Amino acid sequence: MNIQVLDPLVAQQVAAGEVVDRPASVVKELVENSLDAGATRVEVEVGDGGTSRILVRDDGSGMPPEDARLSVLRHATSKIRTAGDIESVATLGFRGEALPSVASVSAFTLTTSIGEGPGTKVVVDGGGPAEVSAAAHPKGTTVLVDRIFYNVPARRAFLKGPRAERAAITETLTHLATAHPEVAFRLSENGRDYLSLPVAGDLLERLAQVHGVAKARAMRRIEYKSGAFEVSGYAALPSLTEGSRAHQTVSVNGRFVRADNLNRGLDDAYRQTVPGGRYPPAALRIAVDPRRVDVNVHPTKQVVRFSEERAARGAVASAVREAIEWRPPAPSAAPRPAERTFTQDRLTRSSPRPGYAPSFAAEDQPAYPAPAAQSLREARERVAEASRPLAERREPYREPYEPPERGDLPPLEDLRVIGQLAAGYILVEEPESLWVVDQHVAHERAILDRLNDAESPAGVQSLLIPEVVELSASEAMKAAENLEELSVYGFEAEPFGPRSVRVTAVISTLADRDVVGAFKDALAAVTGTDPGHSREDRILATIACHSAVKMGDRLSHPEMEALVKDWLTSRLPATCPHGRSICFRLGINEIGRKLDRH
Ligand SMILES: Nc1ncnc2c1ncn2[C@@H]1O[C@H](COP(=O)(O)OP(=O)(O)OP(=O)(O)O)[C@@H](O)[C@H]1O
Ligand SMILES: [Mg+2]
């Protein structure tokens, strides 16, 4: 044996392997530095999925020339002074290793400025000596990492293709963005945006940007405290799952971590309701006394250790379970089922709506606190405006309604309901005529109009007794894929055994109707195609049809009056959703003729 002390450069390259093993870990380190520097906007540009080029630009504090020179030296950090500081470290970095590690395995350039005086450029090639020069740069820092691992061929050989490396970067950046909604993020390659996330007002808005509004709606708020742990954030209902943990973000004291123990806590919460290998999206923030968590157990700082591991896992499990579990209303609750404000998730609607944050008496509180409609709407608008790739997913813009075309329908005030014919037609008197109205079609028209009307949100009502819908194997598959979209239309449903779904809430007009039929038809409408009609139109038409009174429903006089009023005050009373006739008129002259009164 012949022991030799390694050449410092070799030692650094070996050590670098612990900190950076692929482009995504470079992105993580650089973006965390940007966040530590107080950036409000972080832009990442990559070439070939980061394998040829990674650039991270921020508008943070920047560094004065002397700090810039020191920043690429090993164990050089502005973030701690003594080992004891790690116990209470508030920054994401503290090891003083990231920049020297990256610089030792790439062609590295850092350009920075504090916004006054000359900026500084530091160039390091493969861990060689740093070349420092003056350079212009706006306040902030740009780090360019070219040809990662060009001088460590063994490592370079482990890189996957650009697509896989880009996917890993996207995932990492999505986690960081979820942990930091207050910062704008962008990831692009050759001018194409892979992520474009404007500053979000809060976590829910960030989740809506990342997952889309429909999925964000299926997420429930977490607010939980137990012993040393405070858990907050959002977790999806079990009906919404993904094939990996890519959309489960856990942060501890502001640091995004990959902690097996905490992930298991999430799994515990969903064990009864989600099949193995499926992962509902979640964004958890855990706040804990920093002395009870060790962040310095792994070079990437993504692994953390708690002094009470079991309690940490238990806190996550209980917090998530509490948020997603349906609990029957407390016995003191009003006999009426809980109702809450609900709006259609309509990306096409841009007309401003009045604020109607859900508000209900405490005892009427639904078991699932719904995300605040108002902030979702704002989220939707911001996403649409500021984020191109997300905006492209919007449904095509639809023209707003034409002004009502009433045709020759009578004015409401001249009418008098006479009665019902054969439990299917309402007979209405206008001074000089008799109108025969198809009660189902007229009601359907009125309901559809209300559903379409962004100004008058419909309520979602929890069912006192959930309805179980039996499905065929193929329907069950479709249902599993589309539950979260259906939730946008008020159907709160979850898988219930392999071939059925349990519906726990519906739009209030459906509550005492054929929920099973409506769910099945809505499912068919979500998955089917119908030329000329948007998905949303199809689903709303289905809901309206099932909500409406049927042929054969006996109606009281006031019910008929209300129905006729609803119908005639809707915007398109003359048109049936399916193009059928709604009513016909029999003039007094015609009646007279038939009775030989010439
Ligand atoms: N984007 C940036 N803006 C401002 N200062 C930065 C930036 N990136 C790095 N720095 C400065 O350079 C120093 C070294 O960065 P480096 O990432 O190597 O170490 P660290 O962040 O202190 O610790 P760690 O190795 O845990 O990340 C930081 O302490 C910080 O002062
Ligand atoms: Mg760092």
Cα dihedral angle (543, 549, 550, 551), rounded to 10 degrees? -150
| 523-580 pLDDT, tens digit each | 988 877 655 566 777 888 889 899 999 999 999 999 999 999 888 887 767 655 555 6
Cα of 118 to ligand 1 centre, how many Å? Answer: 20
Determine whether the shortest distance from the Cβ of 93 to ligand 1 is under 6 A: yes
Give the number of whichever ligand sits closest to the CA of residue 94: 1
**Residue 575's pLDDT is what?**
59
3 state SS of 209: helix
Cα of 78 to ligand 2 centre, how many Å? Answer: 10
User: In the CATH scheme, what architecture does the domain 412-585 have?
Assistant: 2-Layer Sandwich (3.30)
Place of tokens 């998905």: 535
Strands 184-189 and 41-47 turn out to be parallel
Cα of 29 to ligand 2 centre, how many Å? Answer: 6
Ligand 1: which residue has its CA nearest to atom 4? 62
Find the helix or strand (DSSP H, E) in which 439 lies: helix 439-452
Find the helix or strand (DSSP H, E) in which 69 lies: helix 65-71
Ligand 1: which residue has its CA nearest to atom 11? 71
Determine whether the shortest distance from the Cβ of 241 to ligand 1 is under 6 A: no
List 469's β-bridge partners, or say none.
501
**Residue 129's pLDDT is what?**
94
CATH number, span 8-197: 3.30.565.10
Ligand 1: which residue has its CA nearest to atom 1? 34
| C-alpha Rg value of the chain to the nearest Å | 31
Give the number of whichever ligand sits closest to the CA of residue 295: 1
Cα of 99 to ligand 1 centre, how many Å? Answer: 7
Determine whether the shortest distance from the Cβ of 142 to ligand 1 is under 6 A: no
**Residue 533's pLDDT is what?**
62
Cα of 424 to ligand 2 centre, how many Å? Answer: 73
**Residue 415's pLDDT is what?**
86
Residues in the chain: 598
> Which 8-state DSSP code applies to residue 400?
P
CA 59 to CA 386: how far, in whole Å?
Answer: 19
**Residue 454's pLDDT is what?**
53
Give the number of whichever ligand sits closest to the CA of residue 98: 1
- Going from N- to C-terminal start, the domains of the chain cover 8-197, 203-324, 412-585
- Check: CB of residue 119 under 8 Å from CB of residue 136: yes
Determine whether the shortest distance from the Cβ of 69 to ligand 1 is under 6 A: no
Q: Convert 519-553 to b/e letters by CB count within 10 Å (16 or more is b).
A: bbbbbebbbeeeeeeeebbbbbbbbbbbbbbeeee
- Check: CB of residue 105 under 8 Å from CB of residue 98: no
User: In the CATH scheme, what architecture does the domain 203-324 have?
Assistant: 2-Layer Sandwich (3.30)
Strands 248-252 and 282-287 turn out to be parallel
CA 276 to CA 271: how far, in whole Å?
Answer: 8
User: Rounded to 5, what percent of the chain is helix, strand, coil?
Assistant: 35, 25, 40
Residues of the chain with pLDDT under 70: 326-410, 453-458, 529-534, 572, 574-580
Determine whether the shortest distance from the Cβ of 95 to ligand 1 is under 6 A: yes
